[in-house]
A and B are shown apart, each in its own frame.
Chain A
Amino acid sequence: MATESTSFKREMLATLPSLRAFAVSLTGKHDKADDLVQDTVMKAWAKQSSFEMGTNIKAWLFTILRNEFYSQMRKRGREVQDSDGAFTERLSVHPSQYGLMDLEDFKKALSQLPDDQREAIILIGASGFSYEEAAEICDCAVGTMKSRVSRARARLQDMLKVHGESDYGPDAVSTQVTTNNHSF
């Protein structure tokens, strides 16, 4: 029946922006991230019978994407991730509440984290997963996930401190940088 695949499609659509952001954080490149999301969508579609409607489709899709990413990395070698990962490319929409330099420093710091720590802090801090979900996505123990996140946070804090604490307040520098208007 049509309805089941259509609601699967709808749930998938709702997850795509976040899934894509995670892909960008893994690959560091928008075009590669889009390829990765595309591969993930095809895989997920082929496997949709193994997905139970009403369960956590977001975690399921993130798991497929992450597995796909690392298996492509293994196949093609490290060149898949030739940038430093994280959000190294220029963003077309600049987050309005931060000064440009402020976030540039942060991106640099993020890209210097080991891969496992970076992905951990992104899944927990930005994608909004619980430690349990993130541990499942990364196929590791919950305790491992917690320690990766806390090490990542500590390292980021250290690195950012070096760049001076004067611009701590997010509102201080910000608004003049927003040149883009986007719909919401």
Chain B
Amino acid sequence: MKKENPVNHQRMRLQPDDGLGPTSDIGSRLRALYGAVQEEGVPDQLLDLLEKLDNAEQAQSKQTTSQGGE
């Protein structure tokens, strides 16, 4: 059997070797900072906003559908 296929590893980032890969010092620090912000989650106000936008749209489309159906 061949060794663990290194191509798969490469594929995960679809990048040429840019010095930012999994073993790179700078790359992993960048991802650590970025990841720390990501892990804070999404603030409620943003979730509320999306919810409102979605509800408004659904209400509107319901209205148009029922009008069209008359």
Q: Which of A142-178 contact B (CB under 8 A)?
A: 146, 149-150, 153, 156-157, 160, 168, 170
Bound-state Cα–Cα, A13 to B13, Å: 22
The answer to whether B40 touches A93 (Cβ under 8 A) is: yes
Q: How many A-B residue pairs have CB under 8 A?
A: 127
A73 to chain B, nearest CB (A): 20
Q: Does chain B have a CB within 8 A of A61?
A: no
The answer to whether A37 touches B28 (Cβ under 8 A) is: no
B36 to chain A, nearest CB (A): 5
Q: Of the listed stretches A51-59, A64-72, A77-85, A124-132, name the one at the interface; the rest are far from the partner chain.
A: A124-132
Q: Which of A102-137 contact B (CB under 8 A)?
A: 102-103, 106-107, 110, 121-122, 124-128, 130-131
Q: Which of B38-70 contact A (CB under 8 A)?
A: 38-43, 45-47, 49-50, 53-54, 57-58, 61-62, 65
- Chain B residues contacting A87 (CB-CB under 8 Å) are 33-34, 36-37
In-complex Cβ contact of B20 among A22, A45, A121, A182 (8 A): A121
Q: Which of A32-56 contact B (CB under 8 A)?
A: 34, 37-38, 41-42, 45
Give the 7 A-B CB pairs with smallest separation, nearest first. A95-B32, A126-B34, A21-B37, A125-B20, A17-B38, A125-B30, A126-B30
The answer to whether B27 touches A94 (Cβ under 8 A) is: no
The answer to whether B40 touches A1 (Cβ under 8 A) is: no
Which A-chain residue is minimally distant from B41 (CB atoms)? A17
10 CB < 8 A contacts A-B: A1-B61, A13-B47, A16-B46, A20-B38, A91-B36, A94-B36, A95-B32, A95-B36, A121-B30, A157-B26
